[in-house]
Amino acid sequence: MKLSSVWVALSLSPLLASAFRGSQPAIKESIRSAPQGWTRTGRAPADHVLSLKLALAQPKFSDLEKHLLASSDPAHPKYGAHLSKEEVHALLAPASDTLDIVHEWLESHGLGKESVTKSAAGDWVTLRVPAKVAEEMFNTQFHIYRHDESGDSFVRTTSYSLPSVLHPHIDLVQPTTMYTRIKPLRSTLHYSTELELTMDTASDTLTGPSGNAVDPSCNNQITLSCLKQLYNAEGYTPSNTSGNALGITAYLEQYANYADLQTFYQSQNPAAVGSNFTYVSINGGQNLQDPSQAGVEANLDVQYGFGMTYPTPGTFWSTGGEPPFTPDEFEPTNSNEPYSDWTDYLLNQTNIPQTVSTSYADSEETVPFSYADRVCKSFAAIGARGTSLLFGSGDGGVGITGPASTACTPNNGSDAHVFLPMFPGSCPYVTTVGATVNVPEVAASFTGGGFSNYFARPSYQDSDVSAYLQGLGDTYAGMYNASGRAYPDVSAQGVNFLVYIAGKPENVSGTSCATPAFASIVTMLNDARLQAGKSSLGFLNPMLYGNASAALNDITAGSNPGCATAGFNATTGWDPVTGLGTPDFGKLKDLVLSS
């Protein structure tokens, strides 16, 4: 890209000059150093082009949050009164003076309106600038950093500044201090080389949590039939005319193979053979169909999500990085964080699926708080539209998956040994799903769970979480944030799911399995409500922590060891391993139809 074709020299108007005269640069965000495992290798070349996102202040977000919580509470008069695209955009939009002063500042650096792009609500501004210009704009230096384990290299900084007059108007600029490894985003997928069983599988009969008989084979391998038996959903066939839909997200080269889906349908749901999902590309995301490129994560998600809910229409979003992306020797892979790209796309659609399943997660501390907070607010906006967002809780127990030497060590340079929460599962505006195993169900030992270091505990879970903490006492004191948002919220089976990959059956385990399983139950609940002329469920947590406990199967055995500890324990009521429990579709259906 030639700079002369993009950067146009503009003279400052008197108004512009007065707006910035005397406004000195002040640090907006900084970190002590690059996180452990990253090595600085040199200065970024002056002409290396950076793609940066500016998040503009959202002065009306508190109004959106208030509406979200009201419309998600079955006891509130506004329950089910979800917002339209236009109403949400109005509540996310920056103030006019924010737009004016930001545009003036961009023009002071030669960036006219033709040089930037804005999100649908105007709350995100994306600009592509050479490193030299970015260093001048943000009073910093950009360097090349290499990830020691993977060899990936990104251009980043450890601190950036903005004119002090801009601080109230710009919440963040990223990726600057973000060192998350996002290619690919770490899936919460967990491979088991042997079965994780705790009971005799030779029994002729198993009794499910609803008191019904369950095929003994379900203690060796999970299928669609097993999930329907376990969660009291046999005999329910969703409609394809109610307006209901299920969405599955995929990021950065996870491809859902059509042929594998048909093979799965032939094995698990013959009525669905010949049907398919709608594939949508966001920012250059692809869905290549070479069998050798079939993604385990993507295949798992679509086979169970769409297999359980057929004939409900399904959408598969493949999100790439912010375009255009031109690989070079300094950033050979796309380092742009895709969550905000996906949320911006979805919030600009008039009609969106009522349920969305996402099986990807990052260590919370690798995502700068400002960015995690902003993305979390975007999830709240989607919930206000009437969509239920479900995320996997992670597969590292109370730590994160990774080398034992670093899996429980924070990035702040200390040698502390602490529990490390996961994002987006730690966001209070999503429903986070843990994993169980066996019949009767116990917690799967790899299940991520704990307490956020970023987000405070929301009021809707105060009572349940406080009861657990009282029982926990001083155990692990100082290793977790007892006042943080607690997760997971619910759970479902997550071990030994039969999945077809490149034409062959495989057993797959992880909260990646549990998430589309629970999302499928939610999809069917939305179908039942829509057929009854009611609204979609939207954000689930106020209902789940309110009056839904009797419609969930409480899991009281198991734990999630990690960080050289036994981890948290499952117990009566909510716990940071299995949440409130696994679903009983029949009971939940009666509950949601009565509200």
Q: Is 382 annotated as a binding residue?
A: no
Q: Is 301 a catalytic residue?
A: yes
Q: What is the pLDDT along the chain (595 residues), one digit of tens a residue?
A: 333 333 333 334 444 545 666 689 999 999 988 887 889 999 999 999 998 999 999 999 999 999 999 999 999 999 999 999 999 999 999 999 999 999 999 999 999 877 799 998 999 999 999 999 999 999 999 999 998 887 888 899 999 999 999 999 999 999 999 987 653 334 566 554 444 444 444 557 799 998 889 999 999 999 999 999 999 999 999 999 999 999 999 986 789 999 999 999 999 999 999 999 999 999 889 999 999 999 999 999 999 999 999 999 999 999 885 434 344 455 555 555 678 889 999 999 999 999 999 998 888 988 899 999 999 999 999 999 999 999 999 999 998 876 655 678 887 777 788 999 999 999 999 999 999 999 999 999 999 999 999 999 999 999 999 999 999 999 999 999 999 999 999 999 999 999 999 999 999 999 999 999 999 999 999 999 999 999 999 999 999 999 898 999 999 999 999 999 999 999 999 999 999 999 999 999 999 999 9
Domains parsed from the chain with CATH numbers: 3-58+93-174 (no CATH), 189-588 (3.40.50.200)
- Ligand-binding annotation for 575, yes or no, is yes
> What pLDDT is attached to residue 546?
95
User: SS3 letters for 299-363?
Assistant: HHHHHHHHHHHCCCCEEEEEECCCCCCCCCCCCCCCCCCCHHHHHHHHHCCCCCCCEEEECECEE
474 is catalytic: no
Residue 274, annotated as binding a ligand: no
Q: Specify the pLDDT at position 5.
A: 30
| Tokens 């106020």 sit on residue | 542
Please tell me whether 152 is known to bind a ligand: no
CA distance 238 to 155: 48
pLDDT score, position 195:
40
In the chain, DSSP finds a helix count (H) and a strand count (E) of 14, 28
Q: Which helix (H) or strand (E) holds 163?
A: strand 159-163
Q: In angstroms, rounded to a whole number, what is the distance separating the alpha carbons of residues 204 and 210?
A: 18
Catalytic residue, from 260, 301, 365, 464: name it: 301
Kindly give, in sequence order, each residue whose CB lies less than 8 Å from that of residue 504, ignoring residues fewer than 6 positions away.
none
Strand positions, DSSP E, 87-151: 116-118, 124-130, 143-147
Residues 6+ apart with CB under 8 A from 211: none
Q: Note if the bond before 184 is cis, omega within 30 degrees.
A: yes
Catalytic residue, candidates 512, 520, 536, 559 = 512
Q: In the prediction, which pLDDT does 362 show?
A: 84
- Pair 35, 366: CB distance under 8 Å: yes
Q: Which of 107, 260, 297, 584 is catalytic?
A: 297
Question: Rounded to the nearest 10 degrees, how much is the dihedral formed by the CA atoms of 447, 450, 453, 457?
Answer: 130
Cβ-contact 314, 247 below 8 angstroms? yes
Strand partners, 508: 497
Beta bridge partners of 498: 507
